[in-house]
Copies of this chain bind each other. A is one copy, B any other.
């Protein structure tokens, strides 16, 4: 304290609505109208006010306006990471769509480890976002209760297997695993392996995969779980660990394209023929995967489209529309068949 008025000569009080009003010779409310509902103000007044705004460099305080109107025009978004291209695409398309509609995104990167979700939510909800996008599951009941009590539109993304709070968009990870299994089974594989990172969505896919394989009466001959996130290095290491089990032909599910890339790279080094001796399927459809040699067979989750859709859901709700049946969407995914399987 006592530091506040350091340099009186330079200190300019930030210009506020009353300053503009005085400069334009109108009431503050008229300035507000010029900004928010220009069609309710006469052209002459508007011009005068606009001039004053420009001359003074007035930037309206949206925080104050929000307090008054009970609309913050901010939305919160929670993702585990943005280091992964899938989430990066999600966040990018979501915030693009929101910004166009005049909403600012408050981003929280939660990490994969179970941190204190209650204080995370408190920090976010305390800023009174008008809506919320969250990815994934694994939140505590108390934390979810906070979301419900906040009474704002919530869209859950990437995981619709459980019953959502409000709206949901994404796909069923277990089903992804099952369909990859079906795809490989149809290609005549009869020995399977799994290399996955320890994150809930990836584990769901692995479970769906192994269950479908078991249902077909085929064996999972090898399985390895690595720490999140999945990396190319983990893929290379994974292949080396898999090598002893590779006496016969085998099909491997990886939890991400990066991991699949590592596997394929190490396979080349080790002289393992792909896909003749080892078939590899990734997840995420990175730009990299199509460009690699051999191009990696993968599952395309349409991350960007998901973000856009999530934004669309929230914006529709924010515009006053009530819930709809179609608020729970399972995004179709595509198996991109390329050279590795």
| Residue positions of A touching B, CB distance < 8 A | 3, 6, 12, 14, 57, 59-64, 66-67, 72, 74, 81-83, 85, 88-89, 91-92, 95-96, 99, 102, 104-109, 122-128, 145-146, 149-151, 231-233, 235-236, 258, 261-262, 265-266, 268-269, 287-288, 290-293, 320, 322
Identify the closest chain B residue to A322 (Cβ): B6
Alpha-carbon distance between A189 and B128 when the two chains are bound, in angstroms: 59
Question: Which residues of chain B are within 8 angstroms of A104 by Cβ–Cβ distance?
Answer: 106, 108, 123-124, 127
Known: A3-B320, A63-B63, A85-B83. A236 touches B291 (CB 8 A): yes
The contact sample of 22 A-B pairs, CB cut-off 8 A, is: A3-B320, A59-B126, A61-B67, A61-B128, A63-B128, A64-B67, A74-B106, A83-B85, A83-B92, A91-B107, A104-B106, A104-B108, A105-B106, A105-B107, A106-B106, A232-B288, A232-B291, A233-B290, A261-B288, A261-B291, A265-B292, A269-B293
Question: Which residues of chain B are within 8 angstroms of A150 by Cβ–Cβ distance?
Answer: 59
Question: Which residues of chain B are within 8 angstroms of A88 by Cβ–Cβ distance?
Answer: 82-83, 88
Alpha-carbon distance between A105 and B74 when the two chains are bound, in angstroms: 12
Known: A60-B126, A83-B92. A287 touches B268 (CB 8 A): no
Asked if B91 and A288 make an inter-chain contact with CB atoms under 8 angstroms apart, the answer reads: no
Identify the closest chain B residue to A289 (Cβ): B232
A63 to chain B, nearest CB (A): 5
Number of copies: 2
Question: Which residues of chain B are within 8 angstroms of A6 by Cβ–Cβ distance?
Answer: 322
Residue from B66, B269, B291 within 8 A of A63 (CB atoms) = B66
Identify the closest chain B residue to A236 (Cβ): B291
Alpha-carbon distance between A297 and B149 when the two chains are bound, in angstroms: 52
A250 to chain B, nearest CB (A): 21
Interface centre among A6, A61, A109, A322 (most CB of B within 10 A): A109
Asked if B95 and A62 make an inter-chain contact with CB atoms under 8 angstroms apart, the answer reads: no
Question: Which residues of chain B are within 8 angstroms of A232 by Cβ–Cβ distance?
Answer: 287-288, 291-292
Identify the closest chain B residue to A235 (Cβ): B291
Identify the closest chain B residue to A94 (Cβ): B109
Alpha-carbon distance between A126 and B62 when the two chains are bound, in angstroms: 5
Question: Which residues of chain B are within 8 angstroms of A14 by Cβ–Cβ distance?
Answer: 151
Question: Which residues of chain B are within 8 angstroms of A125 by Cβ–Cβ distance?
Answer: 59
Question: Which residues of chain B are within 8 angstroms of A109 by Cβ–Cβ distance?
Answer: 91-92, 95-96
Alpha-carbon distance between A235 and B81 when the two chains are bound, in angstroms: 27
A242 to chain B, nearest CB (A): 16
Known: A63-B128, A105-B107. A287 touches B265 (CB 8 A): no
Known: A265-B291, A265-B292, A287-B233. A82 touches B92 (CB 8 A): yes
Asked if B91 and A82 make an inter-chain contact with CB atoms under 8 angstroms apart, the answer reads: yes
Identify the closest chain B residue to A290 (Cβ): B233
